[in-house]
């Protein structure tokens, strides 16, 4: 099929590439000419395991191309996916100006029937607005359908999530676009759920908010574990073996972050308010998440006492493993809080140091994770990169002026760390 994806961020670029990989002909559009030039030259603007190879392969095989022209994308394809950012505004609501702008551009370029599919995470009822906008700005009298098709990929596992989705959600207003949408997704062999547009839009916000709730739940349980001497990982394992609960997203941490959960929670709370319901449960999810970070910082200052001029090594800057994304990263938040207290930081991340530099200045960026602890009063683990489990602990113990490790991701076994001579403080254990 001939498909166009507008927006080459995490969602747009991975979606377009995976559509090409299963045999569709895909045009990826981005209004950033530099980005388009980079993609055309075989480079990719983000780190995502397996993506670069797939982009290069599909470009070489002629199924994937890039352009800065929306008109070209609209003209050459029958189905246009919108995958542009929907950033948060100061009051928690969603800035839909990119969606609106793209809808107008598509309308201006349409000369024959098109299916316009929204992939960006948007508030319920956005599809209705997109349809109204296209109708209003379409110069020619052409028919079109608007579909909501939310994306559920996780950064760091995006290719795998896209190639093997748990489900595909297709929200529509008329039956007409459904066969084409099924054809797009047929190669992925995943269950396809067809709903109305509002339900499809709500599925996305409700799912992300529920996952955030799951993390805040286990983080709240971690407080009780610490107070009672229980171990949150054992509690999570025991809970998770109940198929109705499941073990995933029950890893206690210094809090969740990223460009999705914090933003989507705020948006869902805001939408609920506007629709007349005070979703207090989700406000508590946010509160627990902030409290978890405060508790972690307090753990550090309770142990080191005055943080001014203390040297602290920090492992991890990305908001989670397998990505270079530092947007709303708990690790960056933590560093900034420590800096505010006057701590001197040595930091390392396997992939995110370059992007972190824009947000975090006045720290020493260390290329080798095993050199971070040198001369530090303590070491902090802030991101769950699996490679940190391979840290040279003997060397770290010798490099640290005091063998103290604060682990915000529970990467090590407390008993083993104690045996190795560390004062080891983690979450909920």
State the nearest-atom distance from the C-beta of 284 to ligand UGA, in Å.
16
DSSP H stretches of helix in 22-151: 33-40, 51-60, 70-76, 97-109, 126-137
Buried b (16+ CB within 10 A) or exposed e, 160-181: ebbbebeebbbbbbeeebbebb
State the nearest-atom distance from the C-beta of 226 to ligand UGA, in Å.
16
State the nearest-atom distance from the C-beta of 214 to ligand UGA, in Å.
7
CA–CA gap between residue 282 and residue 210 (Å, rounded): 9
CA–CA gap between residue 410 and residue 24 (Å, rounded): 42
Contact assessment for residue 353 and residue 365, using Cβ atoms and an 8 Å cutoff: yes
Question: Nearer Cβ to ligand UGA, position 250 or 343?
Answer: 250
Question: Nearer Cβ to ligand UGA, position 252 or 300?
Answer: 252
Give the residue numbers annotated as catalytic, written as ranges. 260
State the nearest-atom distance from the C-beta of 151 to ligand UGA, in Å.
6
Contact assessment for residue 185 and residue 169, using Cβ atoms and an 8 Å cutoff: no
Contact assessment for residue 359 and residue 332, using Cβ atoms and an 8 Å cutoff: yes
Question: Nearer Cβ to ligand UGA, position 271 or 344?
Answer: 271
Question: Nearer Cβ to ligand UGA, position 64 or 318?
Answer: 318
Question: Nearer Cβ to ligand UGA, position 65 or 259?
Answer: 259
**The Cα angle at residue 96 between residues 94 and 101, in degrees rounded to 5:** 165
**The Cα angle at residue 46 between residues 45 and 52, in degrees rounded to 5:** 85
Task: List the one residue out of 70, 60, 59 whose CA is nearest residue 101.
Answer: 70
The residues near 349 (Cβ < 8 Å, ≥ 6 apart) are 315, 316, 317, 318, 324, 331, 356, 383, 385
State the nearest-atom distance from the C-beta of 32 to ligand UGA, in Å.
20
Contacting positions for ligand UGA (CB under 6 A): 121, 151-155, 208, 211, 215, 249-251, 253, 256-258, 260-261, 319-320, 384
């Amino acid at each position: 099929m001939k498909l166009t994806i507008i927006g080459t961020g995490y969602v747009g670029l991975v979606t377009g590439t995976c559509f090409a990989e299963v045999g569709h002909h895909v045009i990826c559009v981005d209004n950033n000419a530099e980005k388009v030039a980079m993609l055309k030259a075989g480079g990719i603007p983000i780190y995502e395991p397996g993506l670069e190879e797939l982009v290069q392969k599909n470009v070489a095989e002629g199924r994937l191309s890039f352009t800065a022209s929306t008109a070209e994308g609209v003209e050459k394809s029958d189905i246009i996916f919108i995958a542009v950012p929907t950033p948060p505004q100061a009051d928690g609501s969603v800035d839909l100006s990119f969606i609106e702008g793209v809808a107008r551009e598509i309308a201006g370029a349409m000369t024959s029937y098109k299916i316009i599919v929204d992939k960006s995470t948007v508030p319920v009822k956005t599809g209705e607005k997109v349809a109204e906008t296209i109708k209003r700005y379409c110069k020619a009298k052409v028919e079109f359908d608007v579909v909501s098709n939310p994306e559920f990929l996780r950064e760091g596992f995006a290719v795998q999530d896209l190639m093997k989705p748990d489900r595909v959600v297709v929200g529509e207003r008329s039956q007409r676009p459904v066969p084409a949408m099924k054809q797009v997704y047929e190669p992925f062999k995943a269950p396809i759920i067809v709903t109305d547009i509002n339900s499809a839009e709500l599925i996305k916000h409700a799912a992300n908010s529920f996952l955030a709730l799951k993390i805040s739940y286990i983080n709240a349980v971690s407080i009780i574990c610490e107070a009672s001497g229980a171990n949150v990982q054992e509690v999570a394992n025991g809970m998770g073996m109940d198929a109705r609960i499941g073990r995933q997203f029950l890893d206690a941490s210094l809090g969740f972050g990223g460009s999705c959960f914090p933003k989507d929670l705020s948006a869902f709370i805001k939408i609920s308010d506007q629709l007349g319901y005070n979703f207090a449960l989700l406000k508590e999810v946010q509160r627990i998440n902030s409290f978890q970070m405060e508790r972690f910082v307090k753990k550090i200052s309770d142990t080191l006492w005055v943080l001014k001029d203390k040297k602290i090594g920090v492992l991890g800057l990305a908001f989670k493993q397998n990505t270079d994304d530092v947007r709303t990263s708990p690790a960056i938040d933590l560093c900034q809080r420590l800096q505010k207290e006057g701590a001197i930081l040595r930091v390392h991340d396997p992939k995110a140091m370059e992007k972190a530099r824009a947000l975090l200045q006045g720290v020493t960026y260390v290329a080798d994770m095993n050199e971070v602890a040198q001369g530090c009063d303590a070491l902090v683990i802030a991101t769950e990169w699996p490679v940190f489990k391979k840290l040279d602990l003997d060397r770290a113990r010798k490099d640290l002026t005091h063998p103290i490790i604060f682990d915000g991701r529970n990467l090590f076994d407390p008993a083993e760390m104690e045996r190795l001579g560390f004062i080891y403080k983690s979450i909920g254990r």
